[in-house]
């Protein structure tokens, strides 16, 4: 049975039993505690925590998950995967233990012809929490399991909670006996390789306190409603139903290994070291495919760093298998074929995904060549010094300068028998990130702990946002924080955070900057300078009390700065048009990777693995966008289901979190996107869009900046005045200016070259007089002089060489200095006869260099250097004269 069939059977079973089928959420959710979704219940956390009422009593899903803690184990075992699919069924105050056990037993043991998985009931074992007699009895009553195949385990194994105070409960795990060839008899408590866990049923009934029942501490109370949260590992069920011994032999991963076998000429199972590499390629390729599919792009930070690390491990593992040509594209294409039956968007978006991974491979292959040389040098230096630990500064240099993930450095060092100073590396990384992290944290959550916001949300519910239609509103203060702490009141001059029950103020999000404005209460006026949503569903207004006193529960009048809002909305609508124009020009691989919508300007980031966008293409995009403005299309916002939005052709931004109901913003038929921001009513209100620049901001990611509305008009007006002035000065029509300016620049370059040649000739003509003026120092001809100012280093070397030639066969030392502002340049040259008497140019430099605040070096016949103290040139010449006299007199 193929994995996508297993997936569909699971969903069909629970849909038949009254469950709402919920599509998998993106791997990226707006949860500050998670890098990626790592469990099937994560998208349902707000329902379990009671933050949001669930829209259904029963639900089922197959959730995409990524766990990064297992990266180092991948390949070395046949059990660990970074990506996996978690099938689950959920009850929110509906059925409880008996229902969960009954539904699971029916699906697991029903015949395949009847829609089940067809496992032999006599090979099923379960575990329950040590004192959960109810679950143990239900397994006998509902499933007919004999008591000897129901084993009890402690909270370490059979109790679940989130690791913090909140909901939790005992759980019951379902195991399948694979037979004596896989291990010892005695059930899961004896051998979990033979008895393979496939499903965990969590009975959420407790409220845990600071100490967890997992560690033997009692819960502090019961939940007001009992919930069910289950998780079945798709990969484990697949290996059992497909009759293979581990997950790498299933239909989702074995084809990727087969591709690696074909490209490398080696065989999986023939060599233990090669097998590790085959498994790394299979696992990381699939995870990389899924991450890029959900909008992650390679970078050196956070999610992008994990993706980069995974893809680069694939490339390096392929190299170690002897694959010298780029192969990541082929691996990802194979993974697409295995995964797209379950996730069809991988096929439709594959052009973009393929472009991203190929660009990363190309970048890493160049990095690998350069970085490996630097790594080899660092290893050689460490060994030469008798060390066994590669310095943290070298590891940081490899990461920061050459793009080597620290994990790659660790792997390569281990292969060389060395360790790495990881503490030193982490310290340097922390210093680099500290400022950015502090700034980002302050921006999103201010000074308050998230629990303070959650408390307001729990008591008063979500903020009612009115800003799509209203810029003013009457509201009530339901939350007031000062310095991050709840406060009953705040007086004049105080910085506060206000939560209103309803608001016209837009909280920063989706690239759109927040609204500003005023909040007025009886006897108090506040200036709102920022609005954030640190907790989903809550708009927090950051404001300063300009006069009077604001109190909790006060009635207020909230008023948005309408001029700023309209300017920001014009930029946001213009960003949608630029996005549509870029996609039309470059294809679907040009996916939005970030944006900024500010008054009068916008910034639009997009994936462009092909590199820079030609100016002609940008010009076409600009023309097309402004043509849309000219036609003054209607701008509509509609709320629909996600499926309806997809069918309508709406673009979803990868990595954004969307609910069941989504808002689709359409600009005529030209642009259609999922968006929660504010927009103009008609495209003509935007006025004009002027694209200013296009540049790279990272591997495969480009940035377009543009001006909008009056800002764009003023820019064009300034450009017009400038062009008119140039046309007047050059006595040419505007269209002739590029050619005329080019001709003038060419004439200037030619003149500069001729002038440089004249300077050089004039400088070289002084060689004879310098040589004739040599002073005799104990039989050595010394030429030490300051030549013309601002002479290039190359000309200074040529002159010193010419003077040396004119000294003929005499022992001679030539030292020439040139001053350019606060900089000193010098060159020292020696004749062969002088070198025979012990004079070496490179050794003379240290004797006078300090006098000009500098240093240098070179060979015995020629040396050069520089300094920063022109006032010391005379002292330097005196020091050189003394050194020549000393050496010549010995």
User: Which amino acids are annotated as binding site for Zn(2+), given as ranges?
Assistant: 572, 576, 675, 679
CA 206 – CA 224 distance, rounded (Å): 9
Strand partners, 696: 702
Q: How far apart are the first and last CA of the chain?
A: 94
Are 389 and 421 contacting, i.e. CB atoms less than 8 angstroms apart? yes
Q: Please list, in sequence order, all residues whose beta carbon lies within 8 angstroms of the beta carbon of residue 750, skipping any fewer than 6 positions away.
A: none
Q: In sequence order, what DSSP letters do the residues of 621-638 get, joined into one string?
A: HHHHHHHHHHTT-BEEEE
The alpha carbon of 560 is separated from its chain's Cα centroid by a whole number of angstroms, namely: 33
CA 228 – CA 205 distance, rounded (Å): 9
Strand partners, 200: 173, 231
Q: Would you list which residues are annotated within the binding site?
A: 572, 576, 675, 679
CA 766 – CA 75 distance, rounded (Å): 72
The alpha carbon of 60 is separated from its chain's Cα centroid by a whole number of angstroms, namely: 30
Q: Which of 665, 659, 698, 701 is nearest to 683 (CA)?
A: 665
Q: Where are the beta strands (DSSP E) in 93-209?
A: 124-129, 150-153, 159-161, 166-177, 195-208
Q: Which of 855, 853, 875, 871 is nearest to 863 (CA)?
A: 855
CA dihedral 425, 431, 433, 435 (to 10 degrees): 180
CA 194 – CA 171 distance, rounded (Å): 21
Biggest alpha carbon–alpha carbon distance for the chain:
116
CA 778 – CA 776 distance, rounded (Å): 6
Are 371 and 403 contacting, i.e. CB atoms less than 8 angstroms apart? yes
Identify the three-state secondary structure at position 496: strand
Task: Kindly list the distances between the CA atom of residue 1 and the CA atoms of 42, 116, 646, in Å, as whole numbers in the listed order.
Answer: 28, 11, 30
Q: Which of 516, 512, 513 is nearest to 558 (CA)?
A: 516
Are 678 and 614 contacting, i.e. CB atoms less than 8 angstroms apart? no
The residue count of the chain comes to 890
Are 273 and 279 contacting, i.e. CB atoms less than 8 angstroms apart? no
Are 725 and 748 contacting, i.e. CB atoms less than 8 angstroms apart? no
HEC profile of 377-402: HHHHHHHHCCCCEECHHHHHHHHHCC
């Amino acid at each position: 049975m193929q994995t996508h069939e297993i997936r569909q059977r699971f969903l069909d079973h629970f849909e038949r039993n009254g469950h709402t089928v919920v599509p998998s959420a993106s791997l990226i959710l707006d949860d500050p505690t998670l890098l990626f979704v790592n469990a099937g219940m994560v998208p349902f956390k707000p329902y379990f925590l009671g933050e949001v009422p669930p829209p259904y009593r029963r639900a089922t899903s197959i959730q995409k998950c990524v766990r990064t803690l297992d990266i180092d184990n991948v390949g070395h075992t046949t059990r660990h995967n970074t990506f996996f699919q978690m099938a689950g069924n959920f009850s929110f105050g509906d059925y409880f233990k008996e229902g969960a056990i009954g539904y699971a037993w029916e699906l697991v043991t029903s015949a395949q012809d009847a829609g089940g998985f067809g496992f032999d009931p006599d090979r099923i074992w379960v575990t329950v929490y040590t004192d959960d007699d109810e679950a143990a009895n239900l397994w006998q009553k509902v499933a007919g399991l004999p008591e000897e195949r129901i084993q009890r385990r402690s909270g370490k194994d059979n109790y679940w909670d989130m690791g913090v105070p909140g909901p939790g409960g005992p759980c019951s795990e379902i195991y399948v006996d694979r037979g004596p060839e896989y291990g010892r008899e005695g059930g899961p408590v004896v051998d979990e390789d033979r008895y393979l866990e496939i499903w965990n049923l969590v009975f959420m009934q407790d409220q845990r306190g600071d100490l967890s029942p997992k560690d033997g501490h009692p819960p502090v109370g019961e939940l007001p409603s009992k919930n069910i949260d289950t998780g079945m590992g798709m990969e484990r069920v697949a290996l059992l139903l497909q009759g293979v011994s581990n997950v790498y032999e299933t239909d989702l991963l074995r084809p990727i290994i087969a591709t690696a076998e074909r490209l490398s000429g080696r065989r999986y199972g023939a060599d233990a070291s090669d097998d590790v590499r085959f498994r790394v390629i299979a696992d990381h390729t699939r995870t990389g495919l899924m991450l890029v599919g959900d909008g992650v792009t390679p970078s050196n930070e956070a999610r992008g760093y994990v993706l980069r690390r995974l893809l680069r491990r694939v490339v390096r593992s392929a190299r170690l298998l002897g694959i010298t040509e780029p192969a990541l594209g082929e691996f990802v294409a194979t993974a697409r074929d295995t995964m797209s039956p379950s996730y069809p968007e991988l096929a439709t978006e594959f052009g973009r995904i393929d472009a991203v991974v190929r660009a990363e491979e190309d970048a890493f292959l160049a990095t690998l060549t350069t970085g490996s040389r630097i790594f080899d040098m660092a290893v050689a230096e460490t060994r030469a010094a008798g060390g066994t630990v590669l310095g943290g500064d070298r590891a940081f240099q490899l990461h920061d300068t050459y793009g080597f993930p620290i994990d790659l450095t660790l792997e390569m060092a281990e292969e060389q028998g060395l360790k790495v100073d990881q503490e030193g590396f982490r310290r340097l990384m922390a210093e680099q990130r500290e400022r950015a992290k502090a700034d980002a944290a302050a921006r999103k959550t201010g000074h308050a702990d998230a629990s303070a916001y959650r408390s307001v949300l729990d008591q008063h519910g979500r903020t009612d946002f009115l800003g799509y239609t209203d810029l003013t509103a009457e509201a009530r203060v339901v939350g007031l924080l000062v310095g991050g702490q709840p406060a009953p009141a705040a007086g004049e001059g105080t910085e506060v955070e206000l939560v209103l029950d309803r608001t016209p103020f837009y909280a920063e999000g989706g690239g759109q900057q927040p609204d500003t404005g005023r909040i007025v209460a009886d006897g108090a006026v506040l200036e709102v300078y920022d609005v954030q949503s640190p907790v989903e569903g809550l708009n927090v207004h950051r404001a300063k009390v300009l006069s009077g006193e604001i109190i909790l529960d006060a009635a207020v009048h909230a008023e948005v700065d309408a001029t700023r809002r309209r300017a920001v909305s014009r930029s946001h609508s213009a960003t949608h048009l630029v996005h549509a124009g870029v996609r039309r020009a470059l294809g679907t691989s040009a996916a939005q990777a970030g944006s900024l919508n500010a008054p009068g300007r916008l910034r639009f980031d997009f994936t462009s693995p092909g590199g820079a966008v030609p100016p002609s293409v940008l010009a076409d995009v600009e023309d097309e966008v402004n043509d849309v403005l000219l036609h003054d299309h209607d701008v509509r916002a509609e709320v629909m289901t996600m499926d309806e939005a997809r069918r309508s052709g709406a673009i979803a931004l990868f990595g954004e979190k969307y609910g069941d109901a989504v808002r689709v913003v359409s600009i005529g038929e030209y642009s259609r996107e999922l968006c929660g921001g504010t927009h103009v009513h008609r495209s003509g209100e935007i006025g004009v869009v002027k694209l200013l620049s296009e540049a790279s901001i990272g591997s495969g990611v480009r940035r377009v900046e543009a001006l909008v509305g009056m800002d764009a008009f003023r820019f064009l007006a300034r450009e017009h005045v400038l062009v008119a002035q140039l046309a007047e000065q050059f006595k040419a029509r505007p269209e002739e200016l590029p050619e005329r300016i080019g001709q003038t620049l060419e004439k200037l370059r030619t003149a500069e070259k001729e002038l440089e040649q004249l300077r050089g000739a004039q400088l070289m003509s002084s060689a004879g007089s310098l040589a004739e003026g040599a002073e005799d120092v104990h039989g050595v001809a010394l030429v030490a002089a300051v030549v013309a100012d601002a002479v290039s280093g190359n000309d200074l070397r040529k002159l010193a060489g010419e003077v040396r030639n004119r000294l003929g066969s005499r022992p001679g030392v030539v030292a020439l200095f040139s001053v350019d502002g606060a900089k000193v340049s010098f060159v020292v040259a020696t004749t062969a006869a002088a070198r025979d008497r012990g004079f070496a140019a490179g050794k003379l430099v240290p004797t006078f260099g300090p006098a000009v605040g500098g240093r240098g070096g070179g060979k015995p016949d020629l040396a050069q250097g520089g300094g920063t103290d022109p006032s010391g040139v005379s002292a330097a010449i005196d020091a050189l004269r003394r050194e020549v006299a000393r050496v010549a007199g010995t």
